[in-house]
Structure 1
Amino acid sequence: MYDVLVSAGVGLLLLMFLWPTQSTGKRLLKSWKVTDPTPAQIDDAIRYLKRRRLLYPVLFVGMSFLPFASGRGLGSLAAVVLGGTLLAELIAVALPREGRERVASLTPRGLFDIGSQYVLGAYAAIVVITLVWLLVHLDIAQLPVFVVSVAAVAAVWWAAVARPADGDEVVDRALRTRSVHVSAGIGAAMVCALVGGKFLFVGIVAWVLMANTNVVSSKIVR
């Protein structure tokens, strides 16, 4: 019960402190190369953030029941936050937005048309290094969580590539790229947390750098 209460409290605090406003939406778009965003574009960004933030309390509580997140240590809390945040990103990307017209792309797009090759390459390198470490140290018990984490990131990337565009084209392009980069960063931190120690610090640094690599491809079209 203690774990559940702590997870719920953290989720509610993040929801309260990170609740998107007009200034938040405008700042988000400007940071992702949308210059002088219009009110309609800002509303799109706010909806994008709300879909993720509203899921935090529920998902954090749900994650606290999983075996890898049990316990009262900082590592367990980090696993809950990272896992819940990644799952929120996956759900928000995969589910269609009600009442929004979705348009299929007439031009094929690939993952490297959306995400930065540096972010994607760095994530792949971290995944491979972590997997080798787990296998060398025979830490087999961590492999199921490792596989689920990598699969969740892959699912976010697939949804970001495959889903039809909706809303403003410029905003859709920027937020599509942000989803890829943020999920890569969270996924990197998640697998590094399985190793712990200095790996966790590397994962957090990777998360910050990847989530703020705001390279937006011009190839993404409606």
Structure 2
Amino acid sequence: MLINVVIAAVYGLVLLVLLWPTQSTAKRLLKRWEVPDPTPEQFAEAIRYLKRRRLLYPVLFVAVALVPKWVDSHLQLVVVGLAGTLLAELLALRTRRDALRTATLTPRGLFDIASKWVLGAYVLIVAGAAAYLVHAQQWGRLPWLALSAAAVAVIIWAAVARPAGGEQVVDVALRTRSVHVSAGLGAALAGVMIDQGAIGLVGILAWIAMANTTPKHMKIKR
């Protein structure tokens, strides 16, 4: 057990070093989420957003290593990613003292920042996974599927409800990213719970597709 914990901690630290956010990382993130010509302040906000998630990786890898094994070890990355997103969004519910808050002209709703296609696909994938597990009588995996769905639901709620921080264009882009990435992680976890082969691959591809989908029409102007 101790060896597994040490290995998990080293793995988490290596991943943290490899994924440590830089200005170039922030630039790619912002441009991917349709923030053209980012300013230094926008870079700083994106880097803060990424650090809030990635600093949790070593701790979460150790936590996963301490939990009784319920999935193959290669799923740890998905589990850690989902848990890290959840904790980061919950921490973001606290208002930063140095945050520049801007009021929106319209109330912020879920579909103002997220794609209906992404959310609809996620619901269908989870519902299909639940139906399969019931049919296959894999009762032990149903609670874990429900737990992952609950985690995604909380992340989505927090992404909509958390206080505004920084410039609105960046704030909305990062909220959208949180929703889409968490839905993708949930879809990947649901797919691999069913099958480690083709169906699991579909779940991974759904994760990639959702995490890179940006909505084209939103009520909140960016």
Counterpart position of 2:29 = 28
TM normalised by structure 2 equals 0.91
Instruction: Kindly state the Cα deviation for residue 210 of structure 1 after the two structures are TM-superposed.
Output: 0.6
Name structure 2 gaps, 5 residues minimum: none
CA contact 1:7–1:80 (8 Å) conserved in 2: no
Name structure 1 gaps, 5 residues minimum: 70-74
Q: Percent identity?
A: 52
Counterpart position of 1:195 = 194
Matches within 5 A, 1:15-94: 15-69=16-70, 76-94=72-90
Q: Which contiguous aligned blocks of 4+ residues in structure 1 show a shift greater than 4 angstroms?
A: 102-106
Counterpart position of 1:72 = none
**Can you list the C-alpha shifts for 1:114-161, whole angstroms capped at 9, x where unaligned?**
111111111111101100100000000001111110000000000011
Instruction: Kindly state the Cα deviation for residue 220 of structure 1 after the two structures are TM-superposed.
Output: 3.2
Counterpart position of 1:215 = 215
Instruction: Kindly state the Cα deviation for residue 106 of structure 1 after the two structures are TM-superposed.
Output: 5.7
Paired letter, 1:87:
A
Q: 1:113–1:97: structure 2 CA closer, same or farther, 3 Å change rule?
A: same
Paired letter, 1:100:
D
Paired letter, 1:99:
R
Instruction: Kindly state the Cα deviation for residue 85 of structure 1 after the two structures are TM-superposed.
Output: 1.0
Instruction: Kindly state the Cα deviation for residue 217 of structure 1 after the two structures are TM-superposed.
Output: 4.7
Give distance in 2, aligned partners of 1:204 and 1:80: 13
SS of match in other structure, 2:66: coil
Matches within 5 A, 1:112-123: 112-123=111-122
CA contact 2:96–2:165 (8 Å) conserved in 1: no
Give distance in 2, aligned partners of 1:59 and 1:38: 32
Give distance in 1, aligned partners of 2:75 and 2:64: 8
CA contact 2:152–2:182 (8 Å) conserved in 1: yes
Give distance in 1, aligned partners of 2:96 and 2:130: 39
Counterpart position of 1:204 = 204
Give distance in 1, aligned partners of 2:88 and 2:221: 21
Q: 1:210–1:90: structure 2 CA closer, same or farther, 3 Å change rule?
A: same
Counterpart position of 1:153 = 152
Instruction: Kindly state the Cα deviation for residue 162 of structure 1 after the two structures are TM-superposed.
Output: 1.1
TM normalised by structure 1 equals 0.91
Matches within 5 A, 1:94-173: 94-95=90-91, 96=94, 98-101=96-99, 102=101, 107-173=106-172
